[in-house]
Amino acid sequence: MPIRVEIVTPNRVICSEEAVSLVVDTAMGEIEILPMHRPLIALLEVGSARLRMANGAQKTVAISSGILKLEHDRAILVVEEAVSMGKLPLASSVEEARRLAQNALKTTVVQGNLEQGELECLEAKIRSELAKKLTK
125 & 69 share domain: no
Give the three-state DSSP class for 133.
helix
pLDDT-based confidence at residue 108 (cuts at 50, 70, 90)? low
65 & 96 share domain: no
40 & 57 share domain: yes
Q: Are 45 and 27 in contact (CB under 8 A)?
A: yes
**pTM across the whole model:** 0.65
- 83 pLDDT more than 90: no
Angstrom CA distances, 1 to 72, 89, 100, stand at: 11, 32, 37
58 & 95 share domain: no
70 & 106 share domain: no
62 & 116 share domain: no
Least confident of 30-39, 64-73, 99-108: 99-108
CATH number of residue 9's parent domain:
2.60.15.10
Report the relative pairing of strands 3-8 and 74-79 from DSSP bridges: parallel
9 & 43 share domain: yes
pLDDT at 112: 56
User: Which domain, by its residues, includes 52?
Assistant: 3-84
Averaged pLDDT for residues 52-74: 90
DSSP for residue 80: S
Q: What is the total count of domains within the chain?
A: 2
15 & 62 share domain: yes
pLDDT at 126: 67
Q: Are 101 and 128 in contact (CB under 8 A)?
A: no
